[in-house]
């Protein structure tokens, strides 16, 4: 409560000290003496002591009187102090008829004076720290212009209230922490369930394939199930990584110019086959004209639309799915692109809609079993939409369908052209381009230190028509690339492994860019954690591909980076009858599938692993002995990549753990992990030798 002007003689306190609810309810955790009720009780030094005595009788709640002359403080006369002195022999005769100045001179006592903005907690500590006979003496409050008097009882009541507030704050924080822990536990439980479900199918059908004389039809069904669950597991991992980046505030969006009409048409085209397979018409239309180009993130917008349209198709058993594109708030800032996904599916209740955007949530538990999905897509999509300056809203009715409305900022539209209908023939052109044979007619430089990866990647690039030159370290990559500039046909693109000896891919890329290399560089790495792609791009790479290499995806990336787009004949699939495989050590079928059934190529890769891994293990031990962190990490990374090419999960895990310890510089941990890594790699070599000998 603010202090008011002083009067020459004591008056009633500001507010009723006995009625505490009004000012107590206004206290906050950072309250000061300014916020507490106090007394405007000041007397001049020449005031007779008997006047003070009369005031104390008139005002029973008055704890004392400040004695001051203007801004000069002489002291304090408390009720207890005056009563004690007047009760002494001859006290009345000595003091009552004399100025209060003489009373103070006889006491020789310094009162506690505190500034008006002193925190309540500090003030209470100062007050209670006085001698025991002075603890309950009133406190003088000074605001720079006048003095006021504060009763210690009021101060202690305020302190008690603030302790209650602090306790409530701590309780709220504890409740929030417990809620967060429960949410985390629920999230981990859901994630564990979602990961275990496809893994159970993958492991179960893999065991079935290991049985002798599996019928071809059953074998095909098993492989399709394994592939489908593998894709589901990969999507789940990608969703979790996206969600973690969003939660950490580390997911960044771009602002690029692109055609929203073509992007929507592309997504519709990509989902057309799925919709046709369910007998659901997928229709696209514009509501009014839309801009030919906008400024946003096309990759993230495509991700949102794939989720929204995919859900609409999945949850619609009859009827249709409409995609309606419009623009709104053209005259306002910022203008918004609006994309409505309207379906005639199962619909939702208001309660189901209310929890729809929570992670791992679908409308009800039975939907996961009936329709599949992780329950992460909508949560991620909404947060992405918000990062793009918009949001996603839903209207739905059970049994009648749902409408998901996506809005994103378009950026300035002042100079944009406008179109009133979807691009004609776009979908047929896209399907034609997808169905055409793909050929790579380019000169490529592959910088890769792993012999098996050199063989694997180089072989299928050559099969696609590319002219491939291979080097095994960053220095050779820089020298070969710069030398090619003086040749008739320089390299069109470099595939750069980021973990190599002598000079790694990051340093080699920086060196090439600093020397004027302008052609694309595609980073190759077995790391797929948050920030790896950004690190590669920041170094100067044009794009990023993860190992183990997905052949079709790599070809698509190369086509996008090369200009003009180059296409090639597909490599024919080859089926091979295989005997029993040591699947506990490696998975020959999975490794074979990754390279489109090229069994002879895979046998050659396996032979290279058998030949080179013993030497790599010796190098591992030497690097650990020398405490060479960089070389130890690189060698563990190389072993991990080689084992991954053969789907040797246990060896991959052991090498990855060793690589992580080396990256952290924890040589004691690396020493403890080395025997397990050595054992897994030696077991892989033995299993490969046995398998190749039998087949």
- The helix/strand/coil state of 444 is strand
Which neighbouring-strand residues pair with 544?
Answer: 523
Taking Cα atoms as reference points, which of 424, 400, 413, 407 lies closest to residue 337?
A: 407
| End-to-end Cα separation, the chain, in angstroms | 92
Output the pLDDT for position 484: 92
> With contact defined as beta carbons under 8 Å apart, do 207 and 200 qualify?
no
How far, in Å, are 51, 264, 362, 640 from residue 298 at the CA level? 85, 10, 26, 34
> With contact defined as beta carbons under 8 Å apart, do 14 and 39 qualify?
yes
What are the b/e assignments for 615-627, b being 16+ CB within 10 Å? Answer: ebbebbeebbeee
Output the pLDDT for position 429: 45
Extract the tokens encoding 8.
Answer: 């020459």
- Helices marked H in 59-151: 79-86, 91, 100-107, 120-128
Rounded Cα gap, residues 611 and 605, in angstroms? 10
> With contact defined as beta carbons under 8 Å apart, do 496 and 505 qualify?
yes
Rounded Cα gap, residues 390 and 382, in angstroms? 9
Output the pLDDT for position 434: 40
All domains of the chain in start order, with CATH: 21-150 (3.10.580.10), 162-247 (1.10.287.130), 256-424 (3.30.565.10), 443-561 (3.40.50.2300), 588-694 (1.20.120.160)
Rounded Cα gap, residues 152 and 139, in angstroms? 7
- Helices marked H in 349-486: 350-354, 365-371, 377-387, 426-435, 451-463, 474-484
Within 13 A of 161's CA, how many CA atoms are on the CB side? 22
User: CB neighbours of 188 closer than 8 A, spacing ≥ 6?
Assistant: none
- The helix/strand/coil state of 408 is strand
How far, in Å, are 263, 265, 290, 597 from residue 269 at the CA level? 10, 6, 19, 29
| Average pLDDT per block of 10 residues along the chain, 695 residues long | 34 42 80 90 90 89 90 89 83 81 83 93 91 89 90 90 88 84 69 73 84 84 83 78 75 85 87 81 90 90 90 89 86 83 90 75 43 65 91 90 93 85 58 50 90 80 89 93 88 91 90 89 74 74 80 83 51 40 70 74 82 85 86 86 84 86 87 88 86 77
Rounded Cα gap, residues 332 and 617, in angstroms? 66
Output the pLDDT for position 527: 64
E strand or H helix at 693: helix 667-694
Give me the phi and psi of 294, to 5 degrees please.
-135, 170
Output the pLDDT for position 11: 38
CB atoms within 10 A of CB 427: 17
- Helices marked H in 12-119: 21-24, 49-58, 79-86, 91, 100-107
Rounded Cα gap, residues 641 and 512, in angstroms? 25
How far, in Å, are 175, 237, 619 from residue 511 at the CA level? 54, 34, 28
DSSP code of 142? Answer: E
Output the pLDDT for position 115: 94
Do you find a cis peptide bond into 101, omega within 30 degrees of 0?
no
Rounded Cα gap, residues 652 and 660, in angstroms? 12
């Amino acid at each position: 409560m603010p202090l008011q002007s002083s009067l020459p003689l004591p008056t009633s306190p500001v507010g009723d000290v006995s009625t505490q609810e009004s000012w107590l309810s206004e206290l906050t955790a950072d309250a000061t003496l300014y916020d507490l009720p106090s007394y405007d009780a000041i007397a001049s030094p020449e005031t007779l002591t008997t006047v003070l005595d009369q005031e104390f009788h008139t005002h029973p709640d008055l704890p004392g009187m400040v004695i001051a002359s203007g801004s000069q403080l002489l002291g304090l006369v408390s009720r207890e102090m005056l009563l004690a002195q007047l009760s002494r022999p001859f006290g009345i005769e000595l003091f009552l008829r004399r100025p209060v100045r003489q009373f103070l001179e006889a006491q020789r006592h310094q009162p506690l004076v505190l500034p008006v903005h002193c925190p309540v907690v500090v003030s209470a500590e100062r007050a209670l720290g006085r001698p025991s006979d002075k603890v309950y003496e009133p406190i003088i409050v000074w605001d720079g212009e006048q003095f006021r008097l504060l009763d210690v009882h009021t101060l202690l009541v305020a302190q008690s209230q603030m302790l209650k507030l602090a306790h409530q704050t701590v309780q709220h924080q504890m409740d929030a922490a417990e809620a967060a822990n429960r949410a985390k536990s629920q999230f981990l439980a859901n994630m564990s369930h979602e990961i275990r479900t496809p893994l159970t199918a993958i492991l179960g059908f893999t065991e079935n394939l290991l049985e002798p004389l599996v019928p071809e039809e059953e074998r095909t069904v098993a492989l399709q199930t394994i592939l489908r669950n593998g894709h589901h597991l990969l999507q789940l991992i990608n969703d979790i990584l996206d969600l973690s980046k969003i939660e950490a505030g580390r997911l960044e969006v771009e602002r690029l110019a692109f055609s929203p009409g073509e992007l929507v048409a592309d997504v519709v085209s990509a989902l057309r086959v799925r919709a046709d397979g369910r007998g659901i018409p997928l229709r696209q239309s514009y509501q009014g004209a839309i801009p030919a180009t906008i400024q946003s993130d096309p990759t993230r917008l495509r991700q949102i639309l794939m989720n929204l349209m995919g859900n609409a198709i999945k949850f619609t058993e009859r009827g249709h799915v409409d995609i309606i594109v419009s623009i709104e708030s053209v005259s306002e800032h910022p203008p918004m692109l609006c994309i409505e996904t309207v379906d005639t599916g199962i619909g939702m209740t208001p309660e189901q809609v209310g929890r729809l955007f929570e992670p791992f949530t679908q409308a009800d538990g039975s939907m996961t079993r009936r329709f599949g999905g992780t329950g992460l897509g909508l949560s991620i999509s909404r947060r992405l939409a918000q990062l793009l300056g918009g949001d996603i809203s839903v209207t739905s009715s059970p049994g009648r369908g749902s409408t998901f409305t996506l809005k994103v900022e378009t950026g300035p539209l002042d100079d944009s052209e406008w179109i009133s209908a979807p691009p004609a023939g776009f979908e047929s052109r896209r399907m034609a381009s997808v169905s055409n044979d793909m050929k790579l007619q380019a000169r490529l430089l592959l910088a890769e230190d792993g012999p098996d990866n050199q063989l694997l990647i180089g072989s299928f690039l050559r099969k696609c028509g590319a002219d491939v030159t291979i080097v095994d370290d960053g220095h050779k990559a820089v020298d070969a690339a710069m030398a090619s500039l003086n040749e008739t046909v320089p390299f069109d693109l470099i595939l750069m492994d980021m973990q190599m000896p002598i000079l790694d891919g990051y340093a080699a890329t920086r060196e090439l860019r600093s020397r004027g290399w302008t052609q694309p560089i595609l980073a190759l790495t077995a790391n797929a954690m948050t920030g790896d792609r950004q690190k590669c791009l920041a170094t100067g790479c044009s794009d990023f591909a993860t190992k183990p290499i997905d052949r079709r995806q790599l070809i698509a990336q190369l086509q996008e980076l090369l200009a003009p787009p180059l296409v090639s004949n597909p490599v024919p699939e080859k089926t091979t009858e295989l005997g029993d495989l040591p699947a506990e050590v490696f998975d020959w079928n999975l490794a074979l599938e990754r390279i489109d059934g090229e069994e002879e190529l895979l046998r050659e890769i396996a032979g290279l692993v058998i030949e080179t891994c013993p030497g790599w293990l010796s190098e591992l031990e030497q690097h650990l002995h020398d405490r060479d962190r960089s070389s130890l990490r690189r060698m563990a990374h190389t072993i991990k990549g080689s084992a991954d090419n053969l789907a040797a999960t246990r060896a991959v895990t052991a090498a990855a753990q060793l690589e992580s310890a080396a990256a952290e510089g924890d040589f004691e941990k690396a020493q403890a992990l080395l025997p397990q890594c050595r054992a897994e790699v030696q077991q892989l070599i033995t299993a490969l030798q046995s398998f190749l000998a039998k087949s």
